[in-house]
Chain A
């Protein structure tokens, strides 16, 4: 199964849905992502067979330790694209085209390490050869937005939609988690331009407060940098990771949110 995950790096990732995958019996996944801790967690749980990506980063911590470990032990297969090629691959799928041409990739080792990639010659006078980025249709897309209505019209309130609409359009089925489900009439009050994910793109919607944690979900909350540092440190040591997983990843989403809130309650007491 091919699953696309929205957001960007450690920003507005559908972490509650990723955590649901960790608890499921899904495996051998092909995961498509502008990667962050979504990729890290799925790597750590052994859920990924192939990763299609341009980068994996925690932003404020440049390198993702679980992803590094998965690559350095040869645990996953990879298809590494330029960032723009990945956008084109999703756009081709959403437009139901077999490929889209682009300049990015030419001259780089992206073509060497992806021998399946082909070039295409322009049929016009220029006759130039371009990379033919193949469509990347998704079985499912997972995205997290700030608000949605019960029909699946979803809204971003931060500065960037990232490519969430493209992930949804490239997918057979798209699932939106959101901070709050609101009446449709409330959606447009933040500006019509924030309404870019439409109910025809969306199969299901779930209310998941703090569901992007520990990634950012501006303006509802910023990245939980302290928690991310804890995550990254734990990821570098099997013993520490076992304790981290036991503390945070052994229960359901409610247990996760309670565990995340717990140390703060202590700290602020």
Chain B
């Protein structure tokens, strides 16, 4: 029986299925576990970094140094080149996200004098208009899934459309994985749609945690369980200490 965290790791890994030879850039524990699982289990051509300035082959545990071998050197300047070339799929963690995928990692409240200053927009504006982007939300709550984000850092479909072709041509918001469910932007006008609920979660739980109207098509399937091979990879190689369970309980 897989834990909720393990289901989330697999759901994150699925974000990179079919991506081929591009860089997978996960932010945070469960997305990082997911990216390593994706490469080990079904997407062998992905490039992964050691979290510093190198691409490394192989698979290794969260919190441990990458054993390598090193495949390439990517200082931050090369990361920016990679972003603008589009050969990357990032998974970021937004403080707020709306119905069309606008995401905020910068500041909560009035921009001139925020209630809570966060990181800043970082590379989110450039990431989203240049290459595929997914999101990980460890707590599916209405204060995260908001009608309107306070500072559009990651660009959503409606904002890109309003900004014109150059903003929209490479925008691909692939999926949003949360502690409750998997969502995508397959609803009307690229609005957020419920794809699956994790085992033990109801559609009502997800709707209650979402502060805007969510597209729900017919009967919503249950997020798939890890395969036996995936569970072995998670438990024996990627997360032997179970640290992902500290991010998502159950």
Contacts and interface: CB of A to CB of B under 8 A. Distances in A.
Given A56-B119, A162-B75, A82 B126 contact: yes
Given A71-B114, A107-B163, A159 B75 contact: yes
A129 B164 contact: yes
Given A104-B125, A104-B129, A109-B152, A54 B120 contact: yes
Given A108-B125, A113-B111, A53 B75 contact: no
Nearest to A106: B167
B123 A84 contact: yes
A22 to B, nearest CB: 22
Interface of B: 52-54, 73, 75-77, 80, 83-84, 106-107, 111-126, 128-130, 151-156, 159-160, 162-168, 170-171
A105 B122 CA distance: 11
Contacts of B171: 107
B115 A72 contact: yes
Contacts of A71: 107, 113-114, 117
The list of the 5 closest CB pairs from A to B, nearest first, reads: A104-B126, A55-B120, A159-B53, A108-B125, A106-B167
A63 B80 CA distance: 22
Nearest to A56: B120
18 contacts: A54-B120, A54-B121, A63-B117, A63-B119, A82-B125, A83-B122, A84-B80, A103-B84, A105-B125, A105-B126, A107-B163, A107-B168, A109-B151, A159-B52, A159-B53, A159-B54, A160-B76, A163-B77
Interface residues of A, number: 41
Nearest to B75: A160
Interface in A70-84: 71-74, 80-84
A104 B111 CA distance: 20
B151 A163 contact: no
A68 B116 contact: yes
Nearest to A70: B117
A247 to B, nearest CB: 26
A67 B123 CA distance: 19
Given A54-B122, A107-B155, A108-B159, 12 more contacts: A56-B119, A56-B120, A63-B117, A74-B113, A84-B80, A84-B123, A107-B152, A108-B155, A110-B125, A128-B165, A159-B54, A161-B75
A87 B80 contact: yes
A3 B120 CA distance: 20
Contacts of B112: 74
A62 B83 CA distance: 22
Contacts of B117: 63, 67-68, 71-72
A145 interface: no
A30 interface: no
Contacts of B165: 128
